[in-house]
């Protein structure tokens, strides 16, 4: 197999910021109306022209009330069942809070649960992914994030693509994530923060990837985190947007957005299902800056398109 050019070097001696070299909304995408907005046509979907333009500009898109309350109730019940199941807790796909011993995340949830598998196949979900990426898609990663109250730790500032490129071998920025709220996301319970427009700059981080880094990074990310000075510069240029919303709302965001979330010290849990769609034209190769691949439940090697 021919070597794949590394367009986004990272984990070297120095931190380096370079302009994005890929589209945000990929050619072939089109608003649901069929009216072009200068970013290609051909892939219909639920997003209108204004929504696609906003996603192109900011790197994210919010959808209020994407799921109805009865649909959320079904997903919440399934989430409760999963985190109460001793077999799930004992599975390597479950991540447990070190202090409280509460389940923090369950990975590959669309394979563990048919309820979440149906959500992945829902046209409101996969349709938006196909529209943004301009192709069929597969699930690179799925998980439920259960951010229980009274001290659940946050996720430090990072670009998902930096990790997925370095440690999973995704060649291009042709990946989109959706975070769907299963509980109300408040401004006080550790909600998602994004720097709007930061998806236009790739920040190659300094440092070497330790072997089996995923075992630590799923709890607290260290390798692949930007310097304080780089974060201050990005925040000064772009600002920070905090995402709140009722259960059933969704936030779509580009793989290269600089984002993070704070600890949840409130009594109110913040539970979201998180699905990462990658283009079938951007399948993973060998890692670009890690000694070995991460496990399939973190970075999929099954590239079967979502049906």
3-class secondary structure per residue, 19-50: ECCCCCCCCCECCCCCCCCCCCCCECCCCCHH
What per-residue confidence (pLDDT) applies to 2? 63
Average confidence score pLDDT of the chain: 91
Strands 241-242 and 192-194: antiparallel
Q: What is the mean pLDDT of residues 259-271?
A: 92
pLDDT over 80 (residue 219): no
Stated as kind and residue range, the H or E segment containing 215 is helix 214-217
pLDDT over 70 (residue 157): yes
The pair of three-digit structure tokens given for residue 259, joined into one six-digit string: 């984002």
More confident residue, 97 or 41: 97
User: In this structure, what is the dihedral angle of CA atoms 238, 299, 123, 253, given to the nearest 10 degrees?
Assistant: 0
pTM, two decimals, is 0.92
The pair of three-digit structure tokens given for residue 31, joined into one six-digit string: 């608003």
| Closest to 277 (Cα-Cα) out of 295, 245, 255, 251 | 255
Residue 245 CB coordination number (10 Å): 21
Share of the chain above pLDDT 90, in %: 77
Q: What is the mean pLDDT of residues 189-209?
A: 96
Q: Which sign, positive or negative, has the C-alpha torsion 286, 91, 191, 110? A: positive
What per-residue confidence (pLDDT) applies to 275? 98
pLDDT over 70 (residue 1): no
The per-residue b/e assignment along 279-292, b for 16 or more CB within 10 angstroms, e otherwise, is: bbbbbbbebbbbee
| Closest to 126 (Cα-Cα) out of 83, 180, 87 | 180
What per-residue confidence (pLDDT) applies to 217? 59
Q: What is the mean pLDDT of residues 172-198?
A: 96
Q: At what angle do helices 114-121 and 69-84 cross, to 10 degrees?
A: 140
Q: Tell me the C-alpha distance between 287 and 292, whole Å.
A: 7
Using DSSP, state whether 132 is helix, strand or coil.
helix
What per-residue confidence (pLDDT) applies to 44? 84
> Hunting for tokens 């919010």 — which residue is that?
62
Which tens digit of pLDDT belongs to each residue from 32-81? 443 333 344 447 899 999 999 999 999 999 999 999 999 999 999 999 99
pLDDT over 50 (residue 277): yes
pLDDT over 90 (residue 215): no
What per-residue confidence (pLDDT) applies to 201? 98
Q: What is the mean pLDDT of residues 104-132?
A: 96
Band (pLDDT 50/70/90 cuts) for residue 218 is low
Instruction: Quote the distance between the C-alpha of residue 202 and its chain's center.
Output: 16
Q: What is the mean pLDDT of residues 137-152?
A: 89
- The values of phi and psi at residue 273, to 5°, are -100, 135
What per-residue confidence (pLDDT) applies to 160? 96
Strands 16-19 and 60-63: unpaired
Q: How far apart are the first and last CA of the chain?
A: 28
Lowest mean pLDDT among 71-85, 94-108, 257-271, 287-301: 94-108
Q: Tell me the C-alpha distance between 164 and 276, whole Å.
A: 11
CA distances from 271 to 55, 80, 146, 217, 302 (A): 24, 10, 4, 20, 27
Lowest mean pLDDT among 25-29, 45-49, 141-145, 206-210: 25-29
Band (pLDDT 50/70/90 cuts) for residue 171 is very high
More confident residue, 44 or 138: 138
Note whether 49 and 61 are within 8 A (CB). no
Contacts of 232 (CB under 8 A, 6+ apart): none
What per-residue confidence (pLDDT) applies to 97? 72
Q: Which stretches of 29-147 are DSSP H helices? A: 49-58, 69-84, 86-90, 109-112, 114-121, 123-133
What per-residue confidence (pLDDT) applies to 223? 72
């Amino acid at each position: 197999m021919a070597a794949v050019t590394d367009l986004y070097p990272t984990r070297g001696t120095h931190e380096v910021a370079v302009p994005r070299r890929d589209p945000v909304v990929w050619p072939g995408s089109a608003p649901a109306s069929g009216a072009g907005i200068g970013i290609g046509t051909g892939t219909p979907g639920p997003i209108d022209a204004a929504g696609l333009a906003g996603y192109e500009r900011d790197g994210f898109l919010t959808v209020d009330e994407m799921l109805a309350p009865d649909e959320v109730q079904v997903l919440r019940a399934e989430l409760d069942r999963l985190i109460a199941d001793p077999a799930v807790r004992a599975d390597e796909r479950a991540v447990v809070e070190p202090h409280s011993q509460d389940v923090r995340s369950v990975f590959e949830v669309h394979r563990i649960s048919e309820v979440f598998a149906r959500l992945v196949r829902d046209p409101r979900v996969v349709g938006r992914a196909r529209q943004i990426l301009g192709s069929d898609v597969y699930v690179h990663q799925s998980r439920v994030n259960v951010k229980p109250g009274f001290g659940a730790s946050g996720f430090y500032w990072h670009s998902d693509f930096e990790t997925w490129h370095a440690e999973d071998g995704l060649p291009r920025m042709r990946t989109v994530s959706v975070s769907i709220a299963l509980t109300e996301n408040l401004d006080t319970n550790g909600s998602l923060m994004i720097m709007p427009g930061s998806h236009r700059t790739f920040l190659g981080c300094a440092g070497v990837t330790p072997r089996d880094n995923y075992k630590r990074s799923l709890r607290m990310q260290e390798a692949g985190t930007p310097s304080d000075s780089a974060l201050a510069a990005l925040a000064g240029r772009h600002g920070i947007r905090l995402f709140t919303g009722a259960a059933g709302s969704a936030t779509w965001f580009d793989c290269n957005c600089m984002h993070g979330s704070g600890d949840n010290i409130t009594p109110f849990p913040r539970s979201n299902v998180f699905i990462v769609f990658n283009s079938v034209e951007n399948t993973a190769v060998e890692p670009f800056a890690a000694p070995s691949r991460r496990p399939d439940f973190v970075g999929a090697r099954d590239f079967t398109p979502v049906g």
